[in-house]
Amino acid sequence: MKKLIFLSISIGMLSAFGCTKEKFDGTHSFWYNTETSDDLLAYGVAELTLFVDGAEIATIDAYDHYTADPGCGTGNFVYTDKMFKRENKTHSYRIVDEADSLIFEGTFQMQQKESCSSTKLDLTF
């Protein structure tokens, strides 16, 4: 009986403390400039689709571009993830065209210190 009471109290304390962790939205933006957009169009690429950790995030038109880093939370693609305050996450990404040909790939890290970060995409044909 004492073990049962102790177990019940332990589970109650774990669930009470488990709910106190606060999460925040971390964002990572991907963008490219006019030169990259022109190169994509010259190679016949019309659409790009972003996958993060194997999950499809979004599809955009290849002609959309920025002349400079668009800043926090905007870009050609924006990935948002719920994170705990002291959590760091490493994600893999790949961007394919409408024929499922690989155009960009790599990894990025989301950190507690930077609730927002970005990656400039450059073609390396």
Span 19-62, pLDDT tens digits: 556 777 888 999 999 999 999 999 999 999 999 999 999 999 99
Three-state secondary structure string covering the chain? CHHHHHHHHHHHHHHHHHCCCCEEEEEEEEECCHHHHHHHHHCCCCEEEEEECCEEEEEEECCCCCCCCCCCCCCCEEEEEEEECCCCEEEEEEEEECCCCEEEEEEEEECCCCCEEEEECCCCC
Mean pLDDT for all residues in the chain:
83
pTM of the model: 0.77
- Would you place residue 75 in the very low, low, confident or very high pLDDT band (cuts 50, 70, 90)? confident
pLDDT at 50: 97
- Tell me the mean pLDDT in the region 70-88: 84
Out of 18-27, 66-75, 97-106, least confident range: 18-27
Dihedrals phi, psi of 104, to nearest 5 degrees: -135, 150
CA-derived radius of gyration, the chain: 21
On the question of pLDDT at 11 being above 90, the answer is no
Q: State the first-to-last Cα distance of the chain, in angstroms, to the nearest integer.
A: 70
On the question of pLDDT at 67 being above 70, the answer is yes
User: The domain 25-120: what is its CATH number?
Assistant: 2.60.40
Domain map (residue ranges) of the chain: 25-120
pLDDT at 21: 66
